[in-house]
Amino acid sequence: MTPPLALTALGVATPLGCGKVATASNLLAGSQAGLAERDDLLFGRAVTVGVVDAELPPGRPADSDCRNNRLMQLVLDEIAESVAAAVRWYGPQRIAVVLGTSTSGIAEGGAAVEQHRRTGAWPDGFTYRQQELGNLAGHAACYLGVTGPAYTIATACSSGAKAFASARRLIRAGLVDAAVVGGADTLCRLTLNGFNAIEALSPTRCNPFSRNRDGITIGEGAAAFLLEPTDGPVRLLGIGESSDAYHASAPAPDGAGAAAAMRQALADAGLSPDEIGYVNLHGTGTTLNDAMESHAMASVFARPVPASSTKAMTGHMLGAAGACEAAFLWLTLSPAYNPQGRLPPHLWDGVPMPDVPPLNLVAIGDRIRFGEESALLSNSFAFAGSNASLVLGRGRVA
């Protein structure tokens, strides 16, 4: 029998707050305080984004310093004690680091190019390493002092979720005994202007699954977990991945690829759809995604399972979304951080989409209605049909 894998430690920083206490409190209360209007990101107009409001630690090492890596350091500090204990138990060479991102240090790269165009000189201390996509995991491994395999997943908006699958494969293959897994993404002008160019941005706050939805809100965030072969209080029960490759940027309208990822995650967990107590929807607020996901949900769940998109509170954290939304499941499952058993609410204008299967969207104050061994599911869907679903559940250790 395959031993269980537990997410024994969590560090998280999103527009909902920094750390588990603040994040859980604001998540379950339905706070949108982390969404703010910025005029320094888009060419020609202001835009609403989700912002991590925290003083970030200085980057170490300096040659890979960027906001993305500093944000990851912030959440690694929250699990540092647990990682140090794992290093003593397993050895530094037996711990992997697998993280997801889509922006890396592109913000610093863009600023460097602008300065070079103005002055002909690069900024002091700027190196290309700051913006390499693979730099995040290597930076984190160096910061933590672990020497096992370290690499970054960059599959757009499924990156942070797919990192869990890669980390689990390393453990099951016997290459490592434990892994630091998660993701980080930070705001940058290139990303915002790219989404604006394809007319995908909402002019205000996103409005997922509403008839009046008009695009995404971009946010930033990071989450890091310690994944170990034990039966801890929150377990990684199942993972599903699919690649429908329907279109470079649009999802398959019938949601077949998304549904396949959910079914695979359920089968991997050995659970039926009726044993899922809540689904964290991908729910970007775009016309195509929300309609597709509604069809996918209806094809997998015969009953109206409680569900919500948390992106109306955080914005879409892109490559970090899957990891951060897994953190939201972790906090929802935790009696320590959610003693009242509340579910993350769905914030919207209350006007349902026509001509699609309805969803059972969570209101503020709704509570978990499932047994101690039941589970929660989270969806992450990306460009080109790169889909991932995660199932987390309570273990036997309180």
Phi first, then psi: give them for residue 62, nearest 5 degrees.
-65, -30
Written as one letter, the residue type at 70 is R
CA R_g for the chain: 20
Q: Which pLDDT value is given to residue 384? A: 82
Active site residues: 157, 282, 316
Q: What pLDDT shows up at residue 170?
A: 98
Q: How far apart are CA 329 and CA 375, in angstroms?
A: 9
> 43 — phi, psi (to 5°)?
-75, 115
Cβ-contact 295, 357 below 8 angstroms:
yes
* Pairing mode of beta strands 218-219, 47-50: parallel
Q: What is the pLDDT of residue 178?
A: 98
- Per the DSSP assignment, residues forming a β-bridge with 11 are 224
The reported pLDDT for the residue numbered 1 is: 58
Give the pLDDT score at 370: 61
The CATH homologous superfamily of the domain defined by 6-394? Thiolase/Chalcone synthase (3.40.47.10)
- Angle at Cα 29 formed by Cα 24 and Cα 30, nearest 5°? 105
* Pair type for strands 95-100 and 35-38: unpaired
Global pTM reads 0.97
Query: Burial, 5: exposed, middle or buried (Cβ in 10 Å; 0-12, 13-18, 19+)?
Result: buried
Position 214 scores a pLDDT of 96
Within 13 Å, how many C-alpha atoms sit on residue 269's CB side?
30
Identify the burial level of 368 via C-beta atoms within 10 angstroms of its C-beta, where 0-12 means exposed, 13-18 middle and 19 or more buried.
middle
Helices (DSSP H) in 198-337: which residue ranges? 256-269, 287-300, 311-314, 321-333
Residue count (the chain)? 398
pLDDT < 50 regions, the chain: 397-398
Give the dihedral of Cα atoms 252, 257, 263, 268; nearest 10 deg.
Answer: -160
